[in-house]
Structure 1
Amino acid sequence: MRRETQNLLLVLLGGALLKIAFTGTYLRYVKPALFPWLVGAGSVMVLLAAVAIVRDIRVAREQARAEDPFAPPPSTGHAEHEHGHEHRTRSPWMLLLPVFAIFLIAPPALGADSIGRGGQQAAAPERPGDDALFDALPPGPAPLLTVSEFITRVVWDGSGSLDRRAIRLRGFVVHPEDDPARTQLARMRISCCAADAAPVLIDLAGPAAGALTATPPDTWIEVTGTLRAGTATPANGQVPTFDITAVHGIPAPDDPYEY
Protein backbone atom coordinates (compact mmCIF):
# COMPACT_ATOMS: atom_id res chain seq x y z
CA MET A 1 0.00 0.00 0.00
CA ARG A 2 1.39 3.39 -0.98
CA ARG A 3 1.99 5.99 1.70
CA GLU A 4 -0.53 8.34 0.10
CA THR A 5 -3.18 5.63 0.40
CA GLN A 6 -2.28 4.97 4.03
CA ASN A 7 -2.54 8.65 4.90
CA LEU A 8 -5.87 9.02 3.14
CA LEU A 9 -7.25 5.99 4.94
CA LEU A 10 -6.15 7.37 8.29
CA VAL A 11 -7.77 10.74 7.59
CA LEU A 12 -11.05 9.19 6.48
CA LEU A 13 -11.21 6.62 9.28
CA GLY A 14 -10.40 9.23 11.91
CA GLY A 15 -12.86 11.67 10.37
CA ALA A 16 -15.58 9.01 10.35
CA LEU A 17 -15.05 8.32 14.06
CA LEU A 18 -15.19 12.02 14.89
CA LYS A 19 -18.28 12.49 12.74
CA ILE A 20 -20.34 9.78 14.43
CA ALA A 21 -19.09 10.92 17.84
CA PHE A 22 -20.00 14.60 17.55
CA THR A 23 -23.25 14.06 15.63
CA GLY A 24 -24.49 11.60 18.26
CA THR A 25 -24.96 8.73 15.82
CA TYR A 26 -22.33 6.76 17.74
CA LEU A 27 -25.17 5.83 20.13
CA ARG A 28 -26.42 3.49 17.41
CA TYR A 29 -23.21 1.50 17.75
CA VAL A 30 -21.85 1.78 21.30
CA LYS A 31 -22.84 2.90 24.79
CA PRO A 32 -22.39 6.56 25.87
CA ALA A 33 -19.42 5.77 28.12
CA LEU A 34 -17.30 5.07 25.04
CA PHE A 35 -17.67 8.62 23.65
CA PRO A 36 -14.25 9.82 24.95
CA TRP A 37 -12.54 6.78 23.44
CA LEU A 38 -14.10 7.43 20.02
CA VAL A 39 -13.01 11.07 20.09
CA GLY A 40 -9.52 10.08 21.23
CA ALA A 41 -9.12 7.37 18.59
CA GLY A 42 -10.40 9.61 15.80
CA SER A 43 -8.18 12.50 16.85
CA VAL A 44 -5.08 10.29 17.02
CA MET A 45 -5.76 8.90 13.53
CA VAL A 46 -6.18 12.36 12.00
CA LEU A 47 -3.09 13.63 13.84
CA LEU A 48 -0.95 10.71 12.66
CA ALA A 49 -2.10 11.26 9.09
CA ALA A 50 -1.33 14.99 9.30
CA VAL A 51 2.16 14.34 10.66
CA ALA A 52 2.83 11.74 7.95
CA ILE A 53 1.59 14.05 5.18
CA VAL A 54 3.75 16.96 6.38
CA ARG A 55 6.77 14.67 6.63
CA ASP A 56 6.22 13.26 3.13
CA ILE A 57 5.93 16.77 1.68
CA ARG A 58 9.21 17.81 3.30
CA VAL A 59 10.98 14.68 2.07
CA ALA A 60 9.65 15.22 -1.46
CA ARG A 61 10.89 18.83 -1.47
CA GLU A 62 14.33 17.81 -0.23
CA GLN A 63 14.56 15.14 -2.90
CA ALA A 64 13.48 17.57 -5.60
CA ARG A 65 16.22 20.03 -4.58
CA ALA A 66 18.81 17.27 -4.52
CA GLU A 67 17.90 15.78 -7.89
CA ASP A 68 20.18 16.28 -10.85
CA PRO A 69 18.28 18.43 -13.32
CA PHE A 70 20.10 16.69 -16.18
CA ALA A 71 19.22 13.16 -15.03
CA PRO A 72 17.37 11.12 -17.70
CA PRO A 73 13.70 10.35 -17.10
CA PRO A 74 12.67 6.90 -15.85
CA SER A 75 12.83 4.20 -18.50
CA THR A 76 9.70 2.91 -20.21
CA GLY A 77 10.32 -0.52 -18.82
CA HIS A 78 10.16 0.82 -15.29
CA ALA A 79 6.85 2.54 -16.08
CA GLU A 80 5.50 -0.69 -17.47
CA HIS A 81 6.72 -2.48 -14.37
CA GLU A 82 4.79 -0.02 -12.19
CA HIS A 83 1.74 -0.42 -14.41
CA GLY A 84 1.96 -4.16 -14.08
CA HIS A 85 1.73 -3.85 -10.32
CA GLU A 86 -1.04 -1.26 -10.37
CA HIS A 87 -3.68 -3.90 -9.74
CA ARG A 88 -2.03 -4.70 -6.41
CA THR A 89 -2.95 -1.29 -5.03
CA ARG A 90 -6.64 -1.69 -5.68
CA SER A 91 -7.48 -3.87 -2.69
CA PRO A 92 -6.56 -1.25 -0.04
CA TRP A 93 -9.13 1.07 -1.55
CA MET A 94 -11.80 -1.48 -0.67
CA LEU A 95 -11.20 -0.43 2.94
CA LEU A 96 -12.79 2.90 2.06
CA LEU A 97 -16.21 1.34 1.43
CA PRO A 98 -17.26 1.10 5.11
CA VAL A 99 -15.90 4.61 5.68
CA PHE A 100 -17.97 6.01 2.84
CA ALA A 101 -20.96 4.10 4.20
CA ILE A 102 -20.58 5.90 7.53
CA PHE A 103 -20.23 9.28 5.84
CA LEU A 104 -23.07 8.85 3.35
CA ILE A 105 -25.48 6.44 5.04
CA ALA A 106 -26.69 6.62 8.63
CA PRO A 107 -27.84 3.08 9.51
CA PRO A 108 -30.75 2.94 11.95
CA ALA A 109 -30.50 1.50 15.43
CA LEU A 110 -31.34 -2.15 15.93
CA GLY A 111 -35.07 -2.71 16.08
CA ALA A 112 -37.88 -5.14 15.40
CA ASP A 113 -36.26 -6.51 12.26
CA SER A 114 -33.18 -7.54 14.25
CA ILE A 115 -35.32 -9.43 16.73
CA GLY A 116 -37.27 -11.30 14.07
CA ARG A 117 -34.43 -12.02 11.66
CA GLY A 118 -31.95 -13.07 14.32
CA GLY A 119 -34.37 -15.30 16.19
CA GLN A 120 -33.10 -13.79 19.40
CA GLN A 121 -34.61 -14.73 22.71
CA ALA A 122 -35.49 -12.19 25.35
CA ALA A 123 -32.54 -11.21 27.52
CA ALA A 124 -32.83 -12.71 30.99
CA PRO A 125 -32.67 -10.09 33.74
CA GLU A 126 -29.51 -10.16 35.80
CA ARG A 127 -29.90 -11.26 39.37
CA PRO A 128 -29.03 -8.53 41.89
CA GLY A 129 -26.61 -9.29 44.68
CA ASP A 130 -27.90 -11.21 47.68
CA ASP A 131 -27.76 -8.10 49.82
CA ALA A 132 -29.26 -5.81 47.19
CA LEU A 133 -32.53 -4.07 47.93
CA PHE A 134 -34.67 -2.40 45.32
CA ASP A 135 -35.22 1.30 45.76
CA ALA A 136 -38.77 2.48 46.28
CA LEU A 137 -40.63 3.22 43.08
CA PRO A 138 -40.62 6.88 42.05
CA PRO A 139 -43.58 8.85 43.41
CA GLY A 140 -46.58 9.63 41.27
CA PRO A 141 -49.61 7.79 39.99
CA ALA A 142 -47.71 6.08 37.15
CA PRO A 143 -43.89 6.32 37.45
CA LEU A 144 -41.78 5.84 34.34
CA LEU A 145 -39.45 2.80 34.37
CA THR A 146 -37.10 1.41 31.78
CA VAL A 147 -38.15 -1.91 30.32
CA SER A 148 -35.04 -3.58 31.78
CA GLU A 149 -35.72 -2.22 35.26
CA PHE A 150 -39.35 -3.29 35.08
CA ILE A 151 -38.51 -6.87 34.10
CA THR A 152 -35.75 -7.09 36.70
CA ARG A 153 -38.25 -6.08 39.38
CA VAL A 154 -40.80 -8.55 38.03
CA VAL A 155 -38.37 -11.44 38.33
CA TRP A 156 -36.34 -10.58 41.44
CA ASP A 157 -38.32 -8.17 43.61
CA GLY A 158 -40.36 -10.26 46.04
CA SER A 159 -41.75 -7.29 47.91
CA GLY A 160 -44.76 -6.97 45.62
CA SER A 161 -43.97 -3.34 44.77
CA LEU A 162 -45.46 -3.79 41.28
CA ASP A 163 -48.69 -5.43 42.38
CA ARG A 164 -51.63 -3.38 41.06
CA ARG A 165 -49.30 -0.39 40.61
CA ALA A 166 -49.70 1.64 37.42
CA ILE A 167 -46.41 1.96 35.53
CA ARG A 168 -45.33 3.76 32.35
CA LEU A 169 -42.97 2.10 29.89
CA ARG A 170 -41.41 3.26 26.63
CA GLY A 171 -40.22 1.13 23.74
CA PHE A 172 -40.90 0.13 20.16
CA VAL A 173 -43.58 -2.14 18.76
CA VAL A 174 -42.80 -5.73 17.80
CA HIS A 175 -45.17 -8.29 16.26
CA PRO A 176 -43.74 -11.81 16.78
CA GLU A 177 -43.32 -13.85 13.63
CA ASP A 178 -45.14 -16.82 15.13
CA ASP A 179 -48.15 -14.67 16.09
CA PRO A 180 -48.39 -11.40 14.14
CA ALA A 181 -51.66 -10.50 15.86
CA ARG A 182 -49.80 -10.24 19.17
CA THR A 183 -48.00 -7.04 20.13
CA GLN A 184 -44.91 -6.71 22.27
CA LEU A 185 -43.08 -3.72 23.69
CA ALA A 186 -39.34 -4.07 23.15
CA ARG A 187 -36.01 -2.41 23.87
CA MET A 188 -32.54 -3.54 22.89
CA ARG A 189 -30.10 -3.84 25.80
CA ILE A 190 -26.35 -3.69 25.22
CA SER A 191 -23.35 -4.24 27.45
CA CYS A 192 -20.74 -2.60 25.24
CA CYS A 193 -21.86 -2.19 21.66
CA ALA A 194 -24.59 -3.13 19.21
CA ALA A 195 -22.82 -6.42 18.48
CA ASP A 196 -23.85 -7.81 21.89
CA ALA A 197 -27.39 -6.38 21.84
CA ALA A 198 -30.22 -8.55 23.16
CA PRO A 199 -33.93 -7.71 23.27
CA VAL A 200 -35.98 -7.16 26.41
CA LEU A 201 -39.62 -7.87 25.69
CA ILE A 202 -43.01 -7.36 27.30
CA ASP A 203 -46.31 -8.81 26.05
CA LEU A 204 -49.01 -6.15 25.80
CA ALA A 205 -52.59 -7.09 26.64
CA GLY A 206 -55.86 -5.45 27.59
CA PRO A 207 -58.45 -3.52 25.58
CA ALA A 208 -56.01 -0.76 24.60
CA ALA A 209 -53.61 -3.31 23.13
CA GLY A 210 -56.07 -4.24 20.38
CA ALA A 211 -55.43 -0.94 18.61
CA LEU A 212 -51.74 -1.79 18.32
CA THR A 213 -52.30 -4.79 16.06
CA ALA A 214 -52.16 -2.56 12.98
CA THR A 215 -49.31 -0.44 14.32
CA PRO A 216 -46.16 -0.86 12.20
CA PRO A 217 -43.13 -2.47 13.86
CA ASP A 218 -40.48 -0.11 15.24
CA THR A 219 -43.11 2.50 16.12
CA TRP A 220 -42.11 4.07 19.43
CA ILE A 221 -44.86 4.23 22.03
CA GLU A 222 -45.43 4.93 25.71
CA VAL A 223 -47.86 2.65 27.50
CA THR A 224 -49.46 2.88 30.90
CA GLY A 225 -50.72 -0.21 32.66
CA THR A 226 -50.18 -2.84 35.32
CA LEU A 227 -48.33 -6.12 35.59
CA ARG A 228 -50.33 -9.31 35.20
CA ALA A 229 -48.95 -11.30 38.12
CA GLY A 230 -47.33 -14.68 37.48
CA THR A 231 -46.91 -14.25 33.72
CA ALA A 232 -43.09 -14.07 33.65
CA THR A 233 -41.80 -17.63 33.87
CA PRO A 234 -38.66 -19.51 32.76
CA ALA A 235 -40.80 -21.28 30.16
CA ASN A 236 -41.53 -18.04 28.28
CA GLY A 237 -38.09 -16.48 28.77
CA GLN A 238 -39.26 -14.29 31.70
CA VAL A 239 -41.46 -12.19 29.41
CA PRO A 240 -44.21 -10.63 31.56
CA THR A 241 -47.65 -9.58 30.39
CA PHE A 242 -48.58 -5.93 30.81
CA ASP A 243 -52.26 -4.94 30.83
CA ILE A 244 -52.27 -1.49 29.31
CA THR A 245 -54.88 1.18 29.90
CA ALA A 246 -53.39 3.95 27.76
CA VAL A 247 -50.99 4.20 24.84
CA HIS A 248 -49.66 7.02 22.70
CA GLY A 249 -46.88 7.47 20.17
CA ILE A 250 -43.60 9.15 21.03
CA PRO A 251 -40.57 10.16 18.94
CA ALA A 252 -37.65 7.76 18.82
CA PRO A 253 -35.11 8.68 21.52
CA ASP A 254 -31.63 9.89 20.67
CA ASP A 255 -30.24 6.97 22.68
CA PRO A 256 -32.31 3.94 21.60
CA TYR A 257 -30.64 1.33 23.82
CA GLU A 258 -30.80 0.35 27.46
CA TYR A 259 -27.79 -0.71 29.52
Structure 2
Amino acid sequence: MRRETQNLLLVLLGGALLKIALTGTYLRYVKPALFPWLIGTGVVMVLLAAVAIVRDIRAARARARADDPFAAPPEPHEHEPAEHAAHEHRGRSPWMLLLPVFAIFLVAPPALGADSIGRGQQTAAPERPTGASALFDELPPGPAPELSVSEFITRVVWDGSGALEQRAVRLRGFVVHPADGPARTQLARMRISCCAADASPVLIDLAGPAADALATTPQDSWIEVTGTLRAGSATEANGQVPTFDITGARGIPAPDDPYEY
Protein backbone atom coordinates (compact mmCIF):
# COMPACT_ATOMS: atom_id res chain seq x y z
CA MET A 1 0.00 0.00 0.00
CA ARG A 2 1.38 3.40 -0.98
CA ARG A 3 2.06 5.95 1.71
CA GLU A 4 -0.45 8.34 0.14
CA THR A 5 -3.15 5.68 0.47
CA GLN A 6 -2.19 5.00 4.08
CA ASN A 7 -2.36 8.67 4.96
CA LEU A 8 -5.72 9.09 3.24
CA LEU A 9 -7.13 6.09 5.08
CA LEU A 10 -5.97 7.47 8.41
CA VAL A 11 -7.58 10.85 7.70
CA LEU A 12 -10.88 9.31 6.62
CA LEU A 13 -11.04 6.77 9.44
CA GLY A 14 -10.23 9.40 12.03
CA GLY A 15 -12.72 11.77 10.45
CA ALA A 16 -15.41 9.07 10.46
CA LEU A 17 -14.86 8.45 14.18
CA LEU A 18 -15.08 12.15 14.94
CA LYS A 19 -18.21 12.50 12.80
CA ILE A 20 -20.18 9.73 14.50
CA ALA A 21 -19.00 10.91 17.92
CA LEU A 22 -19.78 14.61 17.48
CA THR A 23 -23.13 14.03 15.75
CA GLY A 24 -24.30 11.58 18.44
CA THR A 25 -24.76 8.65 16.05
CA TYR A 26 -22.11 6.75 18.00
CA LEU A 27 -24.92 5.84 20.42
CA ARG A 28 -26.15 3.40 17.78
CA TYR A 29 -22.99 1.36 18.24
CA VAL A 30 -21.50 1.87 21.73
CA LYS A 31 -22.47 3.06 25.20
CA PRO A 32 -22.12 6.76 26.14
CA ALA A 33 -19.13 6.10 28.43
CA LEU A 34 -16.98 5.39 25.35
CA PHE A 35 -17.47 8.88 23.90
CA PRO A 36 -14.09 10.27 25.16
CA TRP A 37 -12.26 7.26 23.71
CA LEU A 38 -13.85 7.78 20.29
CA ILE A 39 -12.88 11.45 20.29
CA GLY A 40 -9.33 10.67 21.43
CA THR A 41 -8.87 7.90 18.86
CA GLY A 42 -10.20 10.05 16.03
CA VAL A 43 -7.96 12.99 16.95
CA VAL A 44 -4.87 10.77 17.24
CA MET A 45 -5.52 9.18 13.82
CA VAL A 46 -5.97 12.54 12.12
CA LEU A 47 -2.83 13.94 13.78
CA LEU A 48 -0.78 10.90 12.77
CA ALA A 49 -1.95 11.32 9.18
CA ALA A 50 -1.14 15.05 9.26
CA VAL A 51 2.38 14.39 10.57
CA ALA A 52 2.97 11.73 7.91
CA ILE A 53 1.70 14.01 5.13
CA VAL A 54 3.93 16.90 6.23
CA ARG A 55 6.93 14.58 6.45
CA ASP A 56 6.28 13.20 2.95
CA ILE A 57 5.90 16.69 1.50
CA ARG A 58 9.21 17.78 3.02
CA ALA A 59 10.92 14.66 1.70
CA ALA A 60 9.53 15.29 -1.79
CA ARG A 61 10.79 18.88 -1.74
CA ALA A 62 14.21 17.72 -0.61
CA ARG A 63 14.40 15.29 -3.53
CA ALA A 64 13.29 18.00 -5.93
CA ARG A 65 16.02 20.33 -4.68
CA ALA A 66 18.57 17.63 -5.22
CA ASP A 67 17.54 17.70 -8.92
CA ASP A 68 19.49 14.60 -9.82
CA PRO A 69 17.97 13.10 -13.01
CA PHE A 70 20.53 10.26 -12.98
CA ALA A 71 19.67 9.01 -9.50
CA ALA A 72 19.11 5.28 -9.33
CA PRO A 73 15.56 4.08 -8.58
CA PRO A 74 14.93 3.04 -4.99
CA GLU A 75 15.86 -0.50 -4.14
CA PRO A 76 13.00 -2.92 -3.43
CA HIS A 77 12.48 -4.07 0.13
CA GLU A 78 14.94 -6.67 1.34
CA HIS A 79 12.26 -9.37 1.51
CA GLU A 80 10.10 -8.08 -1.35
CA PRO A 81 10.57 -9.32 -4.93
CA ALA A 82 11.56 -6.63 -7.39
CA GLU A 83 8.64 -7.50 -9.66
CA HIS A 84 6.17 -6.95 -6.82
CA ALA A 85 7.78 -3.61 -5.98
CA ALA A 86 7.44 -2.50 -9.57
CA HIS A 87 3.72 -3.22 -9.61
CA GLU A 88 2.94 -2.07 -6.08
CA HIS A 89 1.69 1.35 -7.15
CA ARG A 90 -0.86 -0.15 -9.54
CA GLY A 91 -2.61 -2.21 -6.88
CA ARG A 92 -6.24 -1.27 -6.34
CA SER A 93 -7.22 -3.54 -3.44
CA PRO A 94 -6.23 -1.04 -0.68
CA TRP A 95 -8.87 1.35 -1.97
CA MET A 96 -11.54 -1.21 -1.06
CA LEU A 97 -10.81 -0.30 2.57
CA LEU A 98 -12.41 3.06 1.90
CA LEU A 99 -15.85 1.55 1.27
CA PRO A 100 -16.86 1.10 4.95
CA VAL A 101 -15.57 4.60 5.69
CA PHE A 102 -17.70 6.11 2.93
CA ALA A 103 -20.66 4.07 4.20
CA ILE A 104 -20.33 5.70 7.62
CA PHE A 105 -20.07 9.16 6.07
CA LEU A 106 -22.98 8.73 3.67
CA VAL A 107 -25.34 6.09 5.12
CA ALA A 108 -24.94 5.47 8.86
CA PRO A 109 -26.41 2.06 9.81
CA PRO A 110 -29.44 2.30 12.11
CA ALA A 111 -29.55 1.07 15.68
CA LEU A 112 -30.49 -2.53 16.32
CA GLY A 113 -34.23 -3.13 16.22
CA ALA A 114 -36.91 -5.74 15.68
CA ASP A 115 -35.07 -7.48 12.85
CA SER A 116 -32.20 -8.26 15.26
CA ILE A 117 -34.47 -10.15 17.67
CA GLY A 118 -34.61 -13.88 17.11
CA ARG A 119 -31.28 -14.16 15.31
CA GLY A 120 -29.67 -16.24 17.98
CA GLN A 121 -29.60 -13.62 20.75
CA GLN A 122 -30.67 -14.82 24.14
CA THR A 123 -33.21 -12.70 25.97
CA ALA A 124 -31.35 -10.59 28.50
CA ALA A 125 -31.79 -12.27 31.88
CA PRO A 126 -32.27 -9.83 34.75
CA GLU A 127 -29.33 -9.95 37.12
CA ARG A 128 -30.05 -10.49 40.77
CA PRO A 129 -29.16 -7.40 42.82
CA THR A 130 -26.51 -8.00 45.46
CA GLY A 131 -25.66 -6.36 48.76
CA ALA A 132 -27.51 -3.22 49.63
CA SER A 133 -29.00 -2.99 46.14
CA ALA A 134 -30.99 -6.16 46.87
CA LEU A 135 -33.48 -3.87 48.63
CA PHE A 136 -35.27 -2.06 45.83
CA ASP A 137 -36.04 1.61 46.19
CA GLU A 138 -39.64 2.63 46.37
CA LEU A 139 -41.31 3.28 43.06
CA PRO A 140 -41.35 6.94 42.05
CA PRO A 141 -44.45 8.84 43.16
CA GLY A 142 -47.28 9.60 40.81
CA PRO A 143 -50.16 7.72 39.23
CA ALA A 144 -47.99 6.02 36.56
CA PRO A 145 -44.23 6.50 37.07
CA GLU A 146 -41.91 5.75 34.16
CA LEU A 147 -39.54 2.79 34.45
CA SER A 148 -36.98 1.45 32.04
CA VAL A 149 -37.87 -1.92 30.56
CA SER A 150 -34.81 -3.49 32.20
CA GLU A 151 -35.70 -2.13 35.63
CA PHE A 152 -39.29 -3.27 35.25
CA ILE A 153 -38.29 -6.85 34.42
CA THR A 154 -35.66 -6.92 37.16
CA ARG A 155 -38.31 -5.92 39.69
CA VAL A 156 -40.73 -8.48 38.27
CA VAL A 157 -38.24 -11.31 38.76
CA TRP A 158 -36.44 -10.32 41.97
CA ASP A 159 -38.60 -7.89 43.94
CA GLY A 160 -40.72 -9.96 46.29
CA SER A 161 -42.33 -6.98 47.96
CA GLY A 162 -45.21 -6.89 45.50
CA ALA A 163 -44.63 -3.21 44.75
CA LEU A 164 -45.61 -3.69 41.10
CA GLU A 165 -48.87 -5.49 41.80
CA GLN A 166 -51.80 -3.36 40.76
CA ARG A 167 -49.45 -0.37 40.32
CA ALA A 168 -49.70 1.38 36.97
CA VAL A 169 -46.37 2.27 35.36
CA ARG A 170 -45.18 3.66 32.01
CA LEU A 171 -42.71 1.88 29.75
CA ARG A 172 -41.01 2.98 26.53
CA GLY A 173 -39.69 0.79 23.75
CA PHE A 174 -40.19 -0.31 20.16
CA VAL A 175 -42.85 -2.58 18.73
CA VAL A 176 -42.10 -6.20 17.86
CA HIS A 177 -44.48 -8.68 16.20
CA PRO A 178 -42.89 -12.12 16.75
CA ALA A 179 -43.02 -14.38 13.72
CA ASP A 180 -43.22 -17.56 15.79
CA GLY A 181 -46.20 -18.57 17.88
CA PRO A 182 -49.59 -16.86 18.06
CA ALA A 183 -50.02 -13.32 16.82
CA ARG A 184 -49.08 -10.88 19.54
CA THR A 185 -47.33 -7.59 20.12
CA GLN A 186 -44.27 -7.11 22.30
CA LEU A 187 -42.51 -4.08 23.70
CA ALA A 188 -38.74 -4.40 23.33
CA ARG A 189 -35.48 -2.70 24.16
CA MET A 190 -31.94 -3.79 23.36
CA ARG A 191 -29.56 -3.90 26.34
CA ILE A 192 -25.81 -3.67 25.85
CA SER A 193 -22.79 -3.95 28.10
CA CYS A 194 -20.23 -2.28 25.83
CA CYS A 195 -21.36 -2.09 22.22
CA ALA A 196 -24.03 -3.27 19.81
CA ALA A 197 -22.08 -6.50 19.23
CA ASP A 198 -23.07 -7.80 22.70
CA ALA A 199 -26.68 -6.57 22.57
CA SER A 200 -29.48 -8.78 23.86
CA PRO A 201 -33.22 -8.08 23.72
CA VAL A 202 -35.43 -7.28 26.71
CA LEU A 203 -39.03 -8.19 25.92
CA ILE A 204 -42.48 -7.67 27.41
CA ASP A 205 -45.72 -9.21 26.09
CA LEU A 206 -48.48 -6.62 25.70
CA ALA A 207 -52.07 -7.65 26.39
CA GLY A 208 -55.51 -6.09 26.65
CA PRO A 209 -57.80 -4.26 24.21
CA ALA A 210 -55.29 -1.44 23.81
CA ALA A 211 -52.66 -4.01 22.80
CA ASP A 212 -54.97 -5.43 20.12
CA ALA A 213 -54.99 -2.00 18.51
CA LEU A 214 -51.20 -2.22 18.15
CA ALA A 215 -51.45 -5.26 15.87
CA THR A 216 -51.23 -3.02 12.80
CA THR A 217 -48.48 -0.80 14.21
CA PRO A 218 -45.30 -1.25 12.15
CA GLN A 219 -42.35 -2.95 13.78
CA ASP A 220 -39.66 -0.69 15.23
CA SER A 221 -42.23 2.02 15.93
CA TRP A 222 -41.45 3.62 19.28
CA ILE A 223 -44.33 3.76 21.74
CA GLU A 224 -45.05 4.55 25.36
CA VAL A 225 -47.49 2.23 27.10
CA THR A 226 -49.27 2.55 30.43
CA GLY A 227 -50.54 -0.46 32.30
CA THR A 228 -50.03 -3.02 35.04
CA LEU A 229 -48.11 -6.25 35.46
CA ARG A 230 -50.04 -9.49 35.14
CA ALA A 231 -48.97 -11.33 38.28
CA GLY A 232 -47.15 -14.62 37.77
CA SER A 233 -46.73 -14.14 34.02
CA ALA A 234 -42.90 -14.17 34.03
CA THR A 235 -41.66 -17.74 34.39
CA GLU A 236 -38.56 -19.73 33.51
CA ALA A 237 -40.58 -21.51 30.84
CA ASN A 238 -41.16 -18.31 28.87
CA GLY A 239 -37.71 -16.84 29.51
CA GLN A 240 -38.91 -14.46 32.24
CA VAL A 241 -40.96 -12.44 29.75
CA PRO A 242 -43.79 -10.79 31.74
CA THR A 243 -47.21 -9.86 30.43
CA PHE A 244 -48.21 -6.22 30.68
CA ASP A 245 -51.92 -5.38 30.58
CA ILE A 246 -51.94 -1.96 28.98
CA THR A 247 -54.61 0.66 29.31
CA GLY A 248 -53.14 3.12 26.84
CA ALA A 249 -50.43 3.53 24.21
CA ARG A 250 -49.08 6.43 22.20
CA GLY A 251 -46.40 6.88 19.60
CA ILE A 252 -43.19 8.68 20.56
CA PRO A 253 -40.06 9.74 18.66
CA ALA A 254 -37.14 7.35 18.69
CA PRO A 255 -34.71 8.38 21.47
CA ASP A 256 -31.23 9.60 20.73
CA ASP A 257 -29.88 6.75 22.85
CA PRO A 258 -31.88 3.64 21.85
CA TYR A 259 -30.21 1.15 24.21
CA GLU A 260 -30.44 0.30 27.89
CA TYR A 261 -27.47 -0.68 30.07
TM-score range with shorter-chain normalisation? over 0.9
Contact 1:121 1:237 in 2 (8 A): no
| Uncovered stretches (5+) of structure 1, i.e. residues with no partner | 75-79
Distance 2:59 2:125 in 1: 59
Q: Which residue does 1:126 correspond to in 2?
A: 127
1:138 aligns with 2:140: yes
**1:57-206 equivalences in 2 (<5 Å):** 57-68=57-68, 71=70, 84-87=87-90, 89-116=91-118, 118-132=119-133, 133-179=135-181, 181-206=183-208
Deviates more, 1:10-19 or 1:173-182: 173-182
Structure 1 segment 216-255 matched on structure 2, within 5 A = 216-255=218-257
1:27 matched to 2:3: no
Aligned-partner residue type, residue 64 of structure 2: A
2: CA distance, partners of 1:121 / 1:207:
29
Question: Residue 31 of structure 1 aligns to which amino acid in structure 2?
Answer: K
Any idea what SS the aligned residue of 2:117 has?
Answer: helix
Residue 16 of structure 2 contacts residue 105 of structure 2 at CA under 8 Å; is this kept in 1?
yes
TM superposition score normalised by structure 1: 0.93
Structure 2: stretches of 5+ with no match in the other structure: 74-82
Counterpart of 1:257 in structure 2 is 259
CA contact (8 A) 1:147 1:169 kept: yes
Question: For the structure 1 residues 126 and 81, does the alpha-carbon distance in structure 2 shift closer, same or farther, using more than 3 Å as the test?
Answer: closer
Give the C-alpha shift of residue 84 in structure 1: 3.8
Identity %: 82
- Off by >4 Å, runs of 4+ in structure 1: 80-83
Give the number of equivalent residue pairs: 251
Question: TM-score, structure 2 length as denominator?
Answer: 0.92
Query: How far off its partner does 1:199 sit?
Result: 0.2
Letter of the 1:18 counterpart: L
